[in-house]
Structure 1
Amino acid sequence: MTDISELPGFYAIAAADPGRLAVIDTDGTETTFGDLLTRVNQVSHGLRARGLAVGDVVAGVLPNGIDALVMVMATGQIGLYYVPINWHLTASEIAYILDDCDAKIVVTDAEHARPGSEVGTDGLAAGRPTHAPADRTAGTVMWYTSGTTGFPKGVQRKLPGATPEELVPLYFWFFGEVVDLRPGDAVHLVTSPMYHSAPCAHAQFALHFGHTVVITPRFDPVNILELVERHHVSNAMMVPTMFHRMLQLPEDVRTKYDVSSLRQVIHTAAACPVAVKQQIMSWWGPVLYEYYGSTESTIAFSVKPHDWLARPGTVGRPAPTFEAKICDENGKDLPPGEPGMIYVKSSLGSFEYRKDPAKTAASMLGEWYAPGDIGYLDDDGFLFLCDRRTDLIVSGGVNIYPAEIEAALLEHPAVADVAVIGVPDEEWGHNVVALVQPVEGATPGPELTAGLLEHCGPRIARFKQPKVIEYRAQLPRTPTGKLSRSKVRADYLAGNTSSSL
């Protein structure tokens, strides 16, 4: 087998060792590096033939599968921005992102086809050359993330202005430092939707490392264990909800599968309960690597297994190239042990929210970016999170923003006021709960609840919809008219139902 450890990434590996196994798709279909590169090159030529130039935007509404990888790697060598879009979103939510990002081409699967879209990559690839395109230059992925307004914004970074091969050594160094990943023979398991930043990025970088990528269509705890054993999976990216579900499996199921091949299981996206993480490492061994950051900051803090075991609950120290500080509400630095707003900056450069300089400026303190979370640093510089930002709900590792749900519910004629909060849940992290103040004359009860959920259907994706709707005679607001979610949440968690209907 060809030694690929010194080759600079996917495109070079595929040219030097075309028979190397690149992808095992959701249906078990196997694709070599050589065949994947052929399709990637054809799609790159196809995109250029459609008139796309450096800096243009391509979007993908694609389920987990090889086409999602093809689009990332094809746009990644011709200087395009690629926008993966959550296919669970409603048609209007998808349309908003497509309009905002100015996508010139949209690639979907058959189920999510829309007027003018490309269904799969076949049309772009058909009849196109299989060799590498000329004037190769690295593209990048532009992720859309919601803010406190509930409307998604593109997190846009400047294009590198270099070939992919010039950037790969930086990937090798960074991921080697953070999660001990190295180029060579390994197997990466995709367990989460690839329209999210971390699963997509890890699948992309796995190819650059020469690893085989095994793709699952959705998370199923038993299937994950089966795949780990069958393909001798060495690394994967997961979220804490997955750990919780796996621990709920009967003991005889858990012990049935050989997971000794696992070397790095990387988790992020939500806080992992200490007890859950300890149980997983008792089962799998000290293989859990954690990092903390955001779409905007990328990987800002990281912690390896043994450091975490020595300091349970930490999310780590600043990742390479990053600096961090904790500030009070006035922007003044706080000493170790004192909680405050987390700020980070990196020498690798900054980002901007597409078409929203005001939002970009509001998220910064000079050169420092605030992910919006509260935490403290210990004397050794390890970060401990205290809470998520006030309004954000994290359910199953996915960010959900109350303002968007409230806006949808307020469109219903029976709703006078509404507050949406996240309520702690052992499995999901948080559940979405809507507290509704009906208009005068509306009758709260099962019929109204059913009507509100039906009303939400075409407006917001199913995973954002409330799992619980309760009714209140009045919701607390500040003297300026701002909804006091902190008071609503505190009352709800305290079981204060004196204002219930």
Structure 2
Amino acid sequence: MVDKKTFKGIVCGDRHLSHEEFQKEIRKAAAGFKALGVKEGECIGIFMRNDIPFLIANHAANFIGSYAVPINWHLAGEELSYILNDCNAKVLVIHADLWRSIHDAIPNGVTCLVVETPEDLHEAFGLSPEVCRVPVEQIHWQEWLDSCEPTEEEAVVGPSSMLYTSGTTGHPKGVRRAPLRGDDAAAMRNFRSRVYGCAPKARCMVPGPLYHSAPNGYAMQASAISDLLVIVPRFDAEDTLKLIEDYKLTGAIMVPIMFIRMLKLSEAVRNKYDLSSLEFVIHAAAPCPADVKKAMIEWFGPVINEFYGSTESNAITALNSEQALAKPGSVGKTVEEADIRILDENGNILPPNTIGEIYSRFPLLDFTYHGKPEARAEIDRDGYITSGDMGYMDEDGYLFIADRAKDMVISGGVNIYPAEIEAVLHNYPGLKDCAVFGIPDEEFGESVMAVLEVEPRSSISVDHVKNFLREHLAGFKVPRFIEIGKDLPREDSGKIFKRRLRDKYWENSGRKI
């Protein structure tokens, strides 16, 4: 019987691997990958839900100096084909149920290692046991792994994972970094310990998808140097609280929608669990409404931290609980490893409290786009890169995000930032979530549209919502159209697939902006 409060190693569902067992599996997979002909600098695709073999494959790829390429398992066949062809993957590690649904899209010449989809994933995703078994004609991951002898070679100083950007415009691009060596590698470990909280002796949890850059980097570090890493197959609000109590977790990486769902638990459920072990909860990936942040700090204590960044830039700001309360809405101050500039359209540095495009540099983790150096040049100004976010620095050096440049609505020549409207909407009673975006308007070019997701058993009046917004925003920012939606489409990170909502309004307009 495992003593959850003292266990050290890797956990997923009911499965527990000690660090020694985990490292042995990594060395076996590393030997197996080399036997399959994978060389330094080549790529190994990972198309899986959260699972222990995901991290074994990820670490083993790095061990032999190759690039692990975690791929969003929601992608359609041709999207998977594109990434595997673009990175010229030699091997694909894939869950059995996913292989069954997408195997026709796997390019010829890619060796598939099929992982039996474990029982905790059956339950979390409502999968039938039949689709979770490895087909007899395919290479069974565990059988293959058991046939490999652990390599006794020293690990190559391998690169970090090569993650592909979401590809909202054109094809996704692989963010490729050179391996870190010596002092640079140590500096990066120290950086993640300080900013992410996944430090030595920490007991960590990752409920977000491992194919996303932040959860992936967090999990890779925590599984290597922390006492414990709990991999959560699929986020559930109450289950998360139970895991914190059961394993005496000290840290976790989350996204704001997880906070919102936990805060919506009844007071009786919230008070049921002992969360006193928590020391450092980090969140990122989406804007966190200031009232949600404040409520989480009041509940969890001053352990809530935030960083801001992107797959390309890494974490470039950090914010602790005290700073969040002092500067509501900020995403923090620039970390010492990075530098940030706010630029206008002509590349001029803007003064404090003036909205412009956010550019940053993080010399330790410079990158190129795999096979697309010209795409890297397109987002570069004097060595600083942008992910298209708009924002400003205040007089104290705190960064505030206004919105994505591509999400900004221009109505009658006036710039409107949906994130500002969404932040106000999140305070409306009975509202579960919302998405604000621009739709075509013959007179003004664009009009502001809001789609609202309402809590069960709540009733919301559109006119009342508009009146509420007028109390907090200038009239031109109040959405002209408001629609009540249901089960808004989401990524695993919790972000709403705003593009899916927006596209139906633009597809017959003959234009995109």
Q: Same fold (TM over 0.5)?
A: yes
Q: Shift of residue 232 of structure 1?
A: 1.1
- Cα separation, partners in 2 of 1:354 and 1:237, compared to 1, 3 Å: same
Aligned letter for 1:192? G
Aligned letter for 1:44? A
Q: Secondary structure at the match of 1:280?
A: helix
- Cα separation, partners in 2 of 1:204 and 1:167, compared to 1, 3 Å: farther
Does the Cα contact within 8 Å between 1:107 and 1:119 map onto a contact in 2? yes
Of 32, 57, 82 in structure 2, the residue corresponding to residue 96 of structure 1 is 82
Of 245, 252, 263 in structure 1, the residue corresponding to residue 279 of structure 2 is 263
Q: Shift of residue 21 of structure 1?
A: 2.2
Q: Aligned pair 1:146/2:132, yes or no?
A: no
Looking at structure 2, the residues matched to 356 and 318 of structure 1 have their Cα atoms a distance apart, in angstroms, of 28
Give the structure 2 partner of residue 379 of structure 1.
395
Does the Cα contact within 8 Å between 1:78 and 1:139 map onto a contact in 2? no
Of 178, 181, 185 in structure 1, the residue corresponding to residue 195 of structure 2 is 178
Give the structure 1 partner of residue 227 of structure 2.
211
Looking at structure 2, the residues matched to 126 and 315 of structure 1 have their Cα atoms a distance apart, in angstroms, of 46
Q: Secondary structure at the match of 2:59?
A: helix
Give the structure 2 partner of residue 483 of structure 1.
512
Looking at structure 2, the residues matched to 143 and 179 of structure 1 have their Cα atoms a distance apart, in angstroms, of 19
Q: Shift of residue 332 of structure 1?
A: 0.4
Structure 2 counterparts to residues 236-247 of structure 1, below 5 A: 236-247=252-263
Q: Shift of residue 310 of structure 1?
A: 1.6
Q: Shift of residue 319 of structure 1?
A: 1.4
Q: Aligned pair 1:275/2:295, yes or no?
A: no
Percent of paired sites with the same residue: 34
Of 284, 289, 296 in structure 1, the residue corresponding to residue 300 of structure 2 is 284
Aligned letter for 1:175? R
Give the structure 2 partner of residue 118 of structure 1.
113
- Cα separation, partners in 2 of 1:391 and 1:202, compared to 1, 3 Å: same
Give the structure 2 partner of residue 430 of structure 1.
435
Give the structure 2 partner of residue 368 of structure 1.
384
Q: Aligned pair 1:35/2:21, yes or no?
A: yes
Aligned letter for 1:313? G
Looking at structure 1, the residues matched to 15 and 505 of structure 2 have their Cα atoms a distance apart, in angstroms, of 50
Question: Deviation digits for residues 474-498 of structure 1, max 9, x if unmatched?
Answer: 73x7xxxx532xxxxxxxxxxxxxx
Q: Secondary structure at the match of 2:63?
A: coil
Question: Deviation digits for residues 410-453 of structure 1, max 9, x if unmatched?
Answer: xxxxxxxxxxx99947444537898899xxxxxxxxxxxxxxxx
Question: Deviation digits for residues 191-235 of structure 1, max 9, x if unmatched?
Answer: 111111111111111123232111111111011111111111110
Q: Shift of residue 304 of structure 1?
A: 1.5
Looking at structure 2, the residues matched to 223 and 104 of structure 1 have their Cα atoms a distance apart, in angstroms, of 37
Looking at structure 2, the residues matched to 145 and 470 of structure 1 have their Cα atoms a distance apart, in angstroms, of 23
Stretches of structure 2 that go unaligned for 5 or more consecutive residues are 1-5, 116-140, 410-417, 427-431, 443-488, 490-495
Of 244, 247, 253 in structure 1, the residue corresponding to residue 269 of structure 2 is 253
Give the structure 1 partner of residue 35 of structure 2.
49
Structure 2 counterparts to residues 334-345 of structure 1, below 5 A: 334-345=350-361
Give the structure 2 partner of residue 444 of structure 1.
none
Give the structure 1 partner of residue 364 of structure 2.
348
Does the Cα contact within 8 Å between 1:44 and 1:133 map onto a contact in 2? no
Q: Aligned pair 1:22/2:22, yes or no?
A: no
- Cα separation, partners in 2 of 1:223 and 1:372, compared to 1, 3 Å: same
Does the Cα contact within 8 Å between 1:190 and 1:199 map onto a contact in 2? yes
- Cα separation, partners in 2 of 1:179 and 1:473, compared to 1, 3 Å: closer
Structure 2 counterparts to residues 306-317 of structure 1, below 5 A: 306-317=322-333
Looking at structure 2, the residues matched to 278 and 240 of structure 1 have their Cα atoms a distance apart, in angstroms, of 12
Does the Cα contact within 8 Å between 2:62 and 2:156 map onto a contact in 1? no
Does the Cα contact within 8 Å between 1:60 and 1:108 map onto a contact in 2? yes
Q: Secondary structure at the match of 1:293?
A: strand
Structure 2 counterparts to residues 129-168 of structure 1, below 5 A: 129-134=149-154, 136-160=156-180, 162=181
Looking at structure 2, the residues matched to 376 and 473 of structure 1 have their Cα atoms a distance apart, in angstroms, of 33
Looking at structure 2, the residues matched to 302 and 99 of structure 1 have their Cα atoms a distance apart, in angstroms, of 36
Question: Deviation digits for residues 147-171 of structure 1, max 9, x if unmatched?
Answer: 45242110111233x47xx665323
Looking at structure 2, the residues matched to 77 and 227 of structure 1 have their Cα atoms a distance apart, in angstroms, of 30
Looking at structure 2, the residues matched to 147 and 468 of structure 1 have their Cα atoms a distance apart, in angstroms, of 16
Structure 2 counterparts to residues 461-500 of structure 1, below 5 A: 466=500, 475=509, 482-484=511-513
Aligned residues: 406
By relative contact order (CA 8 Å, sep 6+), the higher-ranking structure is: 1
Question: Deviation digits for residues 323-355 of structure 1, max 9, x if unmatched?
Answer: 111111100011111111111112214211112
Looking at structure 1, the residues matched to 508 and 501 of structure 2 have their Cα atoms a distance apart, in angstroms, of 21
Q: Secondary structure at the match of 1:155?
A: strand
RMSD over aligned Cα, in angstroms?
A: 2.9
- Cα separation, partners in 2 of 1:244 and 1:157, compared to 1, 3 Å: same
Q: Shift of residue 179 of structure 1?
A: 4.4
Give the structure 1 partner of residue 453 of structure 2.
none
Q: Shift of residue 309 of structure 1?
A: 1.7
Looking at structure 1, the residues matched to 9 and 81 of structure 2 have their Cα atoms a distance apart, in angstroms, of 33
Looking at structure 2, the residues matched to 471 and 316 of structure 1 have their Cα atoms a distance apart, in angstroms, of 35
Does the Cα contact within 8 Å between 1:45 and 1:133 map onto a contact in 2? no
Looking at structure 1, the residues matched to 65 and 317 of structure 2 have their Cα atoms a distance apart, in angstroms, of 29
- Cα separation, partners in 2 of 1:111 and 1:473, compared to 1, 3 Å: closer
Of 223, 236, 240 in structure 2, the residue corresponding to residue 224 of structure 1 is 240
Aligned letter for 1:52? V
Looking at structure 2, the residues matched to 292 and 242 of structure 1 have their Cα atoms a distance apart, in angstroms, of 17
Question: Deviation digits for residues 252-291 of structure 1, max 9, x if unmatched?
Answer: 1111111111111100001100001001111111111100
Looking at structure 2, the residues matched to 211 and 182 of structure 1 have their Cα atoms a distance apart, in angstroms, of 9
Looking at structure 2, the residues matched to 159 and 297 of structure 1 have their Cα atoms a distance apart, in angstroms, of 16
Aligned letter for 1:483? K
TM-score of the two chains, using structure 2 as the length reference? 0.73
Q: Secondary structure at the match of 2:173?
A: strand
Of 150, 158, 169 in structure 1, the residue corresponding to residue 186 of structure 2 is 169
Looking at structure 2, the residues matched to 309 and 472 of structure 1 have their Cα atoms a distance apart, in angstroms, of 39
